[in-house]
Structure 1
Amino acid sequence: MTHYDVLVIGGGTSGMMAAISAAEHGATVGLIEKNKFVGRKLLVTGNGRCNVTNNRDKEEIIAHIPGNGRFLYSAFYQYDNYDIMNFFRSRGIALKEEDHGRMFPTTDKSRTIVNALKQIIEDLSIDLYTNAPVETVLYDEEKVTGVRLEDGREFQATSVILSTGGRAMPKTGSTGDGYKWAKKAGHTIKELYPTEVPLTSEETFIKERTLQGLSLRDIDLKVLNKKRKNVVTHRMDMIFTHLGISGPAVLRCSMFALQTMKRDKTDAATMAIDSLPDMTAGELNQAFSQLKRSEGDKSIKNVLKQFGPERYILFGLERHSIDSDRAFKTLNSKEIDQIITFLKDFQFDVHGSLPIEKAFVTGGGVNTKEVNPKTLESKKKNNLYFTGEILDYNGYTGGYNITGAFITGRVAGMHAAETSLSQ
């Protein structure tokens, strides 16, 4: 029977990095992947361009991992996003920075990153098993002992690293297999929920598709709790869909909207759009007064189109039964207040999200209180390690989840190799 110092289950971002790290630290390594090829999810990240990491300092990166990011501090102090950049650059892959610190390969192809990782796996003589679904992980009383595949093959291992991902994007192979093997080792799994996911709404204007396909640029999107207190604000773009809302601002707010509904025990969370975040209500009021004098004879819709997309403006006027063809100067103070409120604080309810399978990221997972944050080793079974999305932490899109995956993979691989070689 084949024996490895370190066996990694899952050939995604964190699994490939864990295998490479363990091999670079002197271990004999096997990498098991159930898909036909490794890096399936990595190929589709960043719209197929692969946002490998983010060029910000540790504190900022951890602030962008709102779901339990603090757990990653110890790992970050051993290996960080700058180390990730050096890892690729030292292997001849040029990276470039785009908006919000996002780092991409200059080729704009995620295949560049996947191919580099595959080449390193080959160079380090890591045994790669593809098309090899795992049936179960084997344990004795104290520790992990190996892995059995569905085809009956068994491998012994001194250490096993579970890098099986979450349940988001199951087409890439993330079907939550690792949770049952973690449970078998005695771990508790925090309830799974979708994050970085489009939100759904039962509002009439959504059901009637009044705004479907309309994008709003650079707006402030807020999640409000049942006391109408602000939970979170994100300034980015968004789009109205046939089911609700989507786009970068929505994905970032999604976790907070779902958690707010849960916390408030309600079936809806209130969203608020400030479509003119750089102007105060007072400044808008003054602008309208001046426009009454300078452009008062023009129609309301013609004057207001400088304040947003025409469809959005007309929708707002209709909501308040204001005839858009009237002369702008005929607006009374109540109507002006209504328009300003719509532009600065349009509130509506969302009632849920697309399912976890349609999310970009899984929230919840292996309880991090049961995992050593410095080594990523299980506190329940010796020599069992966890990396990436199987763990209960989650970040925003923009290179944060992938950073967490590379870092946890690197750190777990290093400690698993050291543990195995010392036994």
Structure 2
Amino acid sequence: MTDYDVIVVGGGTSGMMAAISAAEKGAKVAVVEKNKTLGRKLLVTGGGRCNVTNNRDKEEIVSHIPGNGRFLYSAFHQYDNYDIMDFFRSNGVVLKEEDHGRMFPATDKSRTVLEALIVIMDRLAITIYTDAPVETILFKDKKVTGLILEDERELSAKTIVLSTGGRAMPRTGSTGDGYKWAKKAGHTIKPLYPTEVPVLSDELFIQDKTLQGLSLRDVTLSVVNKKGKKVISHQMDMIFTHFGISGPAVLRCSMFVHQTMQRDKTDFVMMSLDALPELSKGELTQQMQRLVKNEGEKSIKNALKGLVPERYLLFVFERLSLDENTPLKHLSDDERSAFIDFMKDFSFTANGTLPIEKAFVTGGGINTKEVNPKTMESKFTKGLYFSGELLDYNGYTGGYNITGAFITGRVAGMHAAQEALGVTN
């Protein structure tokens, strides 16, 4: 049997940070990873460029973690996104900022981030077990004692950090293994659901592929509940697909599609698309009036073509039964009004999302009420810590989930080491 102070199960983003954090505190640390290599999911994040964190203040970051982000406040006070940036810069990774505060390695390669983490783990003499699936976690008298690998090797540990990820992107090894061990330790698992995932619609215009492949830039997309109230709105880009809609605005709305359908007990939800969010209805009306005055002889197709992409414009005309060759000045007041209304609020149904296996992020997970937010330790089992996507919190893409992963990993690893070494804060 091999003895460790801290064993981290899962060599992904959160697990590697937990191991580094624990080793920096002087603990003897091992990482146990079932894949043949570390950081499989890290390599595909940010489109393979690895958006390591976000350069926004604490409050704004938490507001971009709509799934239970408040749980992270205590952790944020110990280690935050600026600490993440300092950590990478001090370890030779040059960072650059892009739109919306997203921070990337200057190389534009996820591998730069992964290699830096591996170099640090090597320097700290952290033992790495790869291709080493865990059979079970061992407990005695409500305390962790170690684990058994599938090849029957037994490793003992004073503390264990579970960083096994959620169920999203299973090809990277995230197959939900950690949930069963958390249950074994007495924890409840909040129902899992896909987030940051494309949305399905069986509207006729989706089925007949009228708009398939069309991107709309800087639109506002909203999820509307059965009372007609907007639950959430996001102003970003989107794209129509053969099964529904996708793109940044859609991914951000996806968890609310799921939650609204659950809350309203329906099998569909209404979505509202404002194609011109920078213009109010009044401003759009005035713009139309100016166009009628200056370009009224032109066909509506030519006079209005600058407003939105032509394919979308022709789709609007078809929905409103307008002939594209009609001179603009011949539109009736009612027709003009209907056009403006459609531009500002095209309502259509969505009936769910792609499954969790196709999602970027897992919603749900270990009930955070059963985890100490200051240390990430289980409230039921001494020496058992959790980090990353296994926990019931989830954020938007744009560096928010990975920020949560690094921060919970750092805090869990630090406190696991202190517990193992008998250090009191």
- The TM-score by the shorter chain falls in which range? over 0.9
Matched, 1:138 2:141: no
- 2: CA distance, partners of 1:99 / 1:20: 30
Residue by residue over 1:129-181, the C-alpha shift from the partner in whole angstroms, topping out at 9 and shown as x without a partner, is 00000111111122011111111101000000000000000000000000000
Match of 1:348, SS state, is strand
Matched to 1:162, the amino acid is L
- 1: CA distance, partners of 2:404 / 2:290: 51
1:239-318 alignment to 2 at 5 Å? 239-318=239-318
% same residue? 70
Match of 1:7, SS state, is strand
- 2: CA distance, partners of 1:251 / 1:37: 29
- 2: CA distance, partners of 1:188 / 1:292: 63
1:1-400 alignment to 2 at 5 Å? 1-400=1-400
The alignment's C-alpha RMSD in Å is 0.7
- 2: CA distance, partners of 1:91 / 1:159: 27
- 2: CA distance, partners of 1:420 / 1:289: 73
Residue by residue over 1:312-355, the C-alpha shift from the partner in whole angstroms, topping out at 9 and shown as x without a partner, is 01001101111111111110011111110111111101001000
Match of 1:306, SS state, is coil
Match of 1:307, SS state, is coil
Match of 1:237, SS state, is strand
Moved more, 282-291 or 180-189: 282-291
- 1: CA distance, partners of 2:26 / 2:80: 21
- 2: CA distance, partners of 1:15 / 1:283: 52
- 2: CA distance, partners of 1:278 / 1:333: 23
- 2: CA distance, partners of 1:85 / 1:323: 56
- 2: CA distance, partners of 1:271 / 1:346: 8
Aligned length: 423
- 2: CA distance, partners of 1:62 / 1:50: 20
Matched to 2:406, the amino acid is F
Structure 1's consecutive aligned runs of 4 or more residues displaced over 3 angstroms after TM superposition are none
Matched to 2:395, the amino acid is G
- 1: CA distance, partners of 2:352 / 2:252: 14
Residue 127 of structure 1: CA displacement?
0.4
Residue 75 of structure 1: CA displacement?
0.3
Match of 1:227, SS state, is coil
Matched to 2:99, the amino acid is D
Match of 2:306, SS state, is helix
- 2: CA distance, partners of 1:284 / 1:92: 51
Match of 1:342, SS state, is helix
- Unaligned runs of 5+ residues in structure 2 are none
Residue by residue over 1:234-291, the C-alpha shift from the partner in whole angstroms, topping out at 9 and shown as x without a partner, is 0100000000000000000110111001100111111111111111111111111221
Residue 393 of structure 1: CA displacement?
0.2
Residue by residue over 1:350-393, the C-alpha shift from the partner in whole angstroms, topping out at 9 and shown as x without a partner, is 00100000000000000000000000000010000000000000
Residue 405 of structure 1: CA displacement?
0.3
Residue 294 of structure 1: CA displacement?
1.1
- 1: CA distance, partners of 2:253 / 2:99: 19
- 2: CA distance, partners of 1:224 / 1:303: 32
Matched to 1:295, the amino acid is E
